[in-house]
Structure 1
Amino acid sequence: MAEPLWTSDEIGAATGGRVVAGPFAVSGVSIDSRSVEPGDLFVALAGARDGHEFAAGALASGAAAVLARKPVQGPHVLVEDTLGALEKLGVAARDRSPARRAAITGSVGKTSVTQAVAAGLALAGRWHSSVKSYNNHIGVPLTLARMPRDTERAVFEIGMNHADEIGPLSRFVQPDVVAITTVGPVHIENFPNGERGVALAKAEIFQGLKPGGVAVLNADNVWFDLLREEAGKVGARVRSFGTGEDADARLLAFEPADGRVRVRALVDGETLSFPLRQTGLHWGLNSLCVLLTLEAMDVSRDTALAALEGFAPLAGRGAEKTVAIPGGVFTLIDESYNANPISMEAAFRTLGARAAPGRRIVALTDMLELGEQAPSFHAGLAAPIEAADVDLVFAAGPMMKSLWDALPPTRRGGYAETAAQLAPLVASAVEPGDLVMVKGSNGSRAGVIAAALAALDHAGDKA
């Protein structure tokens, strides 16, 4: 029989809480009653609605017990503050496990890199990782609290919207290895000192790094020197990836072929050539970030390369779908989960590098949290769109109006105030052979457009 994740006595000891209607044991930890699995500990957090309102439903769905700040009907551990108790449970999970831990952040690519690292850890032994984008003040302690005691390696995604958010999360994780994918103008409206403030906020990840730990950094990024200096303050051993000769892992070529790519790189003097299922040009550097991070996690290079070869694009982050419509098919590239000036430009470069039997079409929604510079950032997308030889641009949202106004009439496919209004315009315009990319911030609902295009698929229709 599998060892439980937590016993009631262990939960009580870790949180300082009082066990009611015990003893019991749990096999998981959940904060959402809609996704509770049998055997879970349901944590009744405060939020827009009090989590205690859902405790009975969670127990009815199979939860073994509730972590609560007031009595509920059923097994529970009574604590003063459920978020504070979740944090303590996460710390206890960290301290009881011998796991080597990595923490990943960055303005672009942190979720995909985290999941690619997790794929390598999965091939190397007993592993644990963040799910979805659980990277904030709730997601990080939750991921820690879910970590089995016999875990050998674990990777955590850490995100932020403001300064002084990454530091506490890094101190929770106490990683052996940290990686910063890149730094750019993301959430910049929250930083009076601009992109430098973003870089310093990302550098907070070094605060929890164990003595002698490894920092994996992007040598091509304009903030590399600052980040290297900050890493040096905590005695980190810096490992770099980039295109320059001084990088420990140097990208030599990124060669698309038949829906896949081949990366050629020089890593510590060894020439490597390996395939990827990822077609985005940014994956040239991302793959090297993954390799260096896995190396620092004591994962063999062969295992790391096997993980990269099998790692597929995540939903909303470059996943592709061939959509059958009358007369043929078109290719949908779903980049609808997130967007900022860096990732937009990278996506356009990737699109422009691909052969398209028909037209290159982009459907874009607003990039969010760019502050006063938002109109200029959006209008500035016109240049990389032209460089990528995009045929038609569809745009939605008040900020994307700045791009729309900057486009020549020949590139204007359609504009609407919302993604929902734009979706049918794009859907009616696509033709067989088109290469169609949807990209925007999740908050501006680019996914609505991607879903509408995917729904055009007649591949499963019966004659």
Structure 2
Amino acid sequence: MTPAILRHPALKRWPVFAEDRLPMALWSAAEIAAATGGTASGDFQSAGVETDSRDVRGGDLFVALKGEAMDGHAFVEAAFARGASAALVDRPVAGPHVLVADTGEALRALAHAARDRTPAKIVGVTGSVGKTGVKEALFAALERASRGATHRSIRSYNNHVGVPLSLARMPARSRYAVFEMGMNHAGEIDALARQVRPHVAVITAIAPAHIENLGSMEAIADAKAEIFAGLEPGGTAVIPADSEYHGQLEAAARAAGARIVSFGSSPHATMRLLDAIPSANGGSLVTCEHPAGRLCYTVAEPGGHWVANSLAVMAGVLAAGGDLAAAGLSLAEMGGLKGRGARHRIAAAGGHATLIDESYNANPASMRATLAALGQTPAGRRIAVLGAMKELGDFGPAFHLALAEPIAAARLDQLVLVGEEMAALARELGKAGSAALGGTPAVTHARGAAEAIGALEQFGLIAGDAVLVKGSNSVGLGRVVDHFARRER
């Protein structure tokens, strides 16, 4: 007799999809061997794929990549000790494995096979700023609508290793998948996009990140537009309508045969902002319209840059055929990401302070946006620890000095500038009666994270403080966050 719970009307209405009949395991030995052209030592199944032995979990396939400094084959034994079900190797090992000629090529072949077998709607995301946040928000929106059948690249796995690894991890049963693509040089996005082959390609913004390598803003726009080269036939390009490079991006998208969906406050935007007002939780209440109607939703993350991000998310969901209502709910529930807006409630004299972790990356556009968000944050005192912005080349000195304006607008009480690139700005702001700052805030220049920690400790955090920590990842300001986050309460 069928149990009563299985006869419940809600279960009878539960949707059934063709991909539900696909295997539960991520990869079998035979599938890996067929995809890579390798030879399996025996039969096994793998639930995941990993290239770092320290991150291996039970059931993972460990891919022993060879790099310039490390050879992953030295860690095969450690991977098995952590529960790996098998290894992808270029030499025989003791344990279940698939033997291939080149493990890097084999990983890309496995990624290709994963992309070929999935029925999922694929979304690719790139841009100078906001791409990880938009990728995470798109994932949250599509996962909610698909009842958990959405895959994504984790962390910032957006390069020549991270993208194929993320593809290889994609379950055959996925209904949606979201992949982030990054670059330092021209041509890199093109190669990644041709692996991902998205149905929807999202460009968040064009800003002077990596301008040291690319030389001009126009070249940055061209490099980001390479994502359109990988679009599937009939695919959609999602582009920022308010960008001064909108025309350049639109032309590249049309040359690729893409349908275009734009977002922003411009009258011609497909997903057009009508209004954004502060909400009670510190985020924004956003109203926008698109060809099929009007939307009103809450964005939990504070700052005008997250209003723009939310429009990119809504445009991406629209282009992917997703559920806009589910997207609105997910934006209302999103929390900050580690290194990209996570907020910590930390112990301080007399109560608690708020620590805002933006330590993973920084460029002129994201610095300006994040300082503006700090200026709007209710706080007794506003404190910023700002690290140097890397990969700006000859443009660096001017971009660092230009931070004086958003620093002044943020109405800071204390400022710690970290790194040699910040020395000139520290001298300028430290001048008595600086016109840019009206004589405030107190400015300290630190050579590194340790000195920045010391400066904050000496200054002393008190109840009601809001502390922003932001800089390029190589400056190491994550150490500042970790030091004070230990006091989380």
Scaled to the shorter chain, the TM-score interval is: over 0.9
Correspondence for 1:6: 27
Correspondence for 1:285: 308
Pair 1:434-2:465 in alignment:
yes
Contact 1:177 1:297 in 2 (8 A): yes
3-state SS, counterpart of residue 427 of structure 1: helix
Choose from 158, 169, 173 the match for 1:146.
Answer: 169
Contact 1:365 1:440 in 2 (8 A): yes
For residues 128-207 of structure 1, the aligned pairs below 5 Å read 128-192=151-215, 194-207=216-229
Correspondence for 2:271: 249
Instruction: Provide the rounded CA distance (Å) in 2 between the counterparts of 1:448 and 1:315.
Output: 13
Write the deviation string for residues 215-262 of structure 1: whole angstroms up to 9, x where unpaired.
111111121110010000011111111112111122233322333323
Instruction: Provide the rounded CA distance (Å) in 2 between the counterparts of 1:188 and 1:99.
Output: 35
Pair 1:216-2:248 in alignment:
no
Pair 1:50-2:80 in alignment:
no
Correspondence for 2:83: 62
3-state SS, counterpart of residue 190 of structure 2: helix
Correspondence for 1:417: 447
Correspondence for 1:234: 256
3-state SS, counterpart of residue 253 of structure 1: strand
Structure 1 residues 135, 294: closer, same or farther in 2, change over 3 A?
A: same
Pair 1:446-2:481 in alignment:
no
Question: Once the 2 structures are TM-superposed, how far is the Cα of residue 312 of structure 1 from its aligned partner?
Answer: 1.2
Instruction: Provide the rounded CA distance (Å) in 2 between the counterparts of 1:157 and 1:26.
Output: 24
Choose from 35, 41, 44 the match for 2:61.
Answer: 41
| 1:174 counterpart letter in structure 2 | R
Write the deviation string for residues 273-292 of structure 1: whole angstroms up to 9, x where unpaired.
21121012201110011011
Contact 2:282 2:377 in 1 (8 A): no
Question: Once the 2 structures are TM-superposed, how far is the Cα of residue 401 of structure 1 from its aligned partner?
Answer: 1.0
Structure 1 residues 259, 401: closer, same or farther in 2, change over 3 A?
A: farther
Instruction: Provide the rounded CA distance (Å) in 2 between the counterparts of 1:281 and 1:261.
Output: 9
Correspondence for 2:44: 24
Question: Once the 2 structures are TM-superposed, how far is the Cα of residue 72 of structure 1 from its aligned partner?
Answer: 1.2
Of 424-433 and 380-389, deviating more is 424-433
Contact 1:424 1:452 in 2 (8 A): no
3-state SS, counterpart of residue 251 of structure 1: strand
Choose from 104, 117, 126 the match for 1:105.
Answer: 126
Instruction: Provide the rounded CA distance (Å) in 1 between the counterparts of 2:275 and 2:373.
Output: 14
Question: Once the 2 structures are TM-superposed, how far is the Cα of residue 413 of structure 1 from its aligned partner?
Answer: 3.1
Question: Once the 2 structures are TM-superposed, how far is the Cα of residue 408 of structure 1 from its aligned partner?
Answer: 4.2
Instruction: Provide the rounded CA distance (Å) in 1 between the counterparts of 2:279 and 2:34.
Output: 56
3-state SS, counterpart of residue 182 of structure 1: coil
3-state SS, counterpart of residue 420 of structure 1: helix
Instruction: Provide the rounded CA distance (Å) in 1 between the counterparts of 2:403 and 2:177.
Output: 38
| 1:319 counterpart letter in structure 2 | A
Correspondence for 1:372: 394
Contact 1:253 1:265 in 2 (8 A): yes
| 2:474 counterpart letter in structure 1 | G
Instruction: Provide the rounded CA distance (Å) in 2 between the counterparts of 1:311 and 1:336.
Output: 19
Write the deviation string for residues 292-344 of structure 1: whole angstroms up to 9, x where unpaired.
11122221211111111111111111111222222222221111111100000
Question: What is the total number of aligned residue pairs between the two structures?
Answer: 455
Instruction: Provide the rounded CA distance (Å) in 2 between the counterparts of 1:43 and 1:344.
Output: 37
Structure 1 residues 150, 392: closer, same or farther in 2, change over 3 A?
A: same
For residues 261-340 of structure 1, the aligned pairs below 5 Å read 261-268=283-290, 270-340=293-363
Contact 1:68 1:78 in 2 (8 A): yes
Give the unaligned 5+ runs of structure 1. Answer: none
| 2:59 counterpart letter in structure 1 | G
Instruction: Provide the rounded CA distance (Å) in 2 between the counterparts of 1:145 and 1:452.
Output: 36
Question: Once the 2 structures are TM-superposed, how far is the Cα of residue 456 of structure 1 from its aligned partner?
Answer: 4.1
Instruction: Provide the rounded CA distance (Å) in 2 between the counterparts of 1:334 and 1:436.
Output: 9
Instruction: Provide the rounded CA distance (Å) in 1 between the counterparts of 2:141 and 2:280.
Output: 25
| 2:352 counterpart letter in structure 1 | V
Instruction: Provide the rounded CA distance (Å) in 2 between the counterparts of 1:118 and 1:29.
Output: 20
Instruction: Provide the rounded CA distance (Å) in 1 between the counterparts of 2:159 and 2:355.
Output: 31
Of 223-232 and 431-440, deviating more is 431-440
3-state SS, counterpart of residue 283 of structure 2: strand
Contact 2:279 2:285 in 1 (8 A): no
| 2:242 counterpart letter in structure 1 | D
Query: Over the residues paired in the alignment, what is the CA RMSD in angstroms?
Result: 1.5
Instruction: Provide the rounded CA distance (Å) in 1 between the counterparts of 2:137 and 2:54.
Output: 27
Contact 1:262 1:273 in 2 (8 A): no
Instruction: Provide the rounded CA distance (Å) in 2 between the counterparts of 1:61 and 1:332.
Output: 34
Instruction: Provide the rounded CA distance (Å) in 2 between the counterparts of 1:307 and 1:366.
Output: 33
Instruction: Provide the rounded CA distance (Å) in 2 between the counterparts of 1:439 and 1:131.
Output: 21
Contact 2:125 2:178 in 1 (8 A): yes
TM-score, scaled to structure 2: 0.90
Structure 1 residues 2, 16: closer, same or farther in 2, change over 3 A?
A: closer
Correspondence for 1:120: 141
Correspondence for 2:436: none
| 1:149 counterpart letter in structure 2 | A
Instruction: Provide the rounded CA distance (Å) in 2 between the counterparts of 1:149 and 1:59.
Output: 25
Contact 2:299 2:307 in 1 (8 A): no
Of 333-342 and 413-422, deviating more is 413-422
3-state SS, counterpart of residue 272 of structure 2: strand
Moved over 6 A (4+): none
Instruction: Provide the rounded CA distance (Å) in 1 between the counterparts of 2:264 and 2:279.
Output: 22
Contact 2:275 2:288 in 1 (8 A): no
3-state SS, counterpart of residue 170 of structure 2: coil
Correspondence for 1:260: 282
Give the unaligned 5+ runs of structure 2. Answer: 1-21, 432-439
